[in-house]
Amino acid sequence: MHAVQSRSTRPAVSAPPSEKTQSVISLKRLGLSALLTSAGFFIAIVGNLLFPQVAAGIKTPVYQVGGLAVDLNGFYRLVLLTVILIYLLAAVRAVFDPSRREKYGKQARFRFAMGILLLAYDIAGTKLRVTPQPFFPGPAQILETFLIDTEQVWINLLYSLRLFSAGFLSGVVLGVGTGILIGWFPRAYYWIYPVLRMTGVIPAVAWMPFALTMLPTPFWAATFLIAICSWFPVASQTAFGIKNTPRTQFEAARTLGAKTPFLVFRVAVPNAMPQIFTGVTTACASSFTCLVMAEMMGQPGGLGYYINVVKVWAAYYKVFATILVMAILFSLILAVLNAVKAYVLRWQRGQFV
């Protein structure tokens, strides 16, 4: 009797929430994340609008932007509104893609903090000008670059893209080819791998005098330096991936009558793809750094060249604007690489869950 009573008083276990309930909860969290994200930048807009311009010496000419007449602060507020709109569109996209909801929500607090940080920097750098001037201009002054020097920024951006594409793609192609040779053929490993090890540790800038002497134009010299930066990590990772291909895969392919080209390009190279993309990602970062240094040391154009030109005139707000463009450009390049990687390695989805 006692056992029956104790069993009857045991608390009931609640059933796990249904899939529909979980989806509703996820959407509510997404909405709160979008609201938190927008709140940070909206506070920055309101602060810029209401906080008075205390420090003197700030010129506020009027510019035409898409049919609107705005001054520096007005353009800054327009940029912040655009940022809010972009994040709201990303939230709408996440509504239809559950895999993006969690990722969007994780960054909400960081975005809110960025809006508050922009407000503090705006007050310190523009409204009060307590930061060292002209070395740390306010955000509105930095964005003025895109109003008064738009053409020059675009021209140098396209030059950097052309130079980066030529050097990076050349280095990736040469790196994959070298890695295949080293990873597959023992003789190639014997003769080429020591050269790879010795040249790979030498900074690309050290090759600058030889590149300028041996190659006909500064553009090709910079292309060579960027290619060197890309070549080493891609070749090393490709060789590592091919050497670590399981022998059972080769034996199964040989049993079916596969020849050497099939074993290399249909067995070894696909198996090495994760390592190849690791090398490509590493090469992208080092190549972008080399790109900026090469442009600052003798190129007739590019974002690094533009920084060199404007800093002579102490136009540090243009330097900060160029750094912002570099950050956005590099982020976009990485996003493209990650998209290509996700497509090529789509067979890995769910493998490590």
Among 24-38, 180-194, 210-224, 296-310, name the most confident range.
180-194
Average pLDDT over residues 4-28: 60
Task: Give backbone dihedrals phi and psi of 68, rounded to 5 degrees, phi first.
Answer: -105, 140
How does pLDDT run across 293-318, given as a tens digit for each residue?
A: 888 877 788 999 999 999 888 889 99
* Whole-number Å distance between alpha carbons of 115 and 41: 4
Residues 157 and 338 sit within 8 Å (Cβ to Cβ): no
How does pLDDT run across 82-115, given as a tens digit for each residue?
A: 999 999 999 998 888 877 888 888 889 999 999 9
Among 17-21, 176-180, 266-270, name the most confident range.
176-180
Average pLDDT over residues 57-61: 75
At 21, list the tokens.
């309930």
Q: Which domains does the chain have, with CATH numbers?
A: 19-133 (no CATH), 150-345 (1.10.3720.10)
In this prediction the pTM is: 0.84
Look at residue 36 in the predicted model and tell me its pLDDT: 93
* Whole-number Å distance between alpha carbons of 35 and 88: 9
* Cβ within 8 Å of residue 121, ≥6 positions away: 138, 139
242 pLDDT band, cuts 50/70/90, is very high
* Whole-number Å distance between alpha carbons of 288 and 340: 19
Residues 276 and 241 sit within 8 Å (Cβ to Cβ): yes
Average pLDDT over residues 271-277: 92
Residues 44 and 127 sit within 8 Å (Cβ to Cβ): no
Count of alpha carbons within 13 Å of 44, Cβ hemisphere only?
33
**Number of neighbours of residue 85 by Cβ within 10 angstroms:** 12
Look at residue 352 in the predicted model and tell me its pLDDT: 43
Task: Give backbone dihedrals phi and psi of 62, rounded to 5 degrees, phi first.
Answer: -100, 135
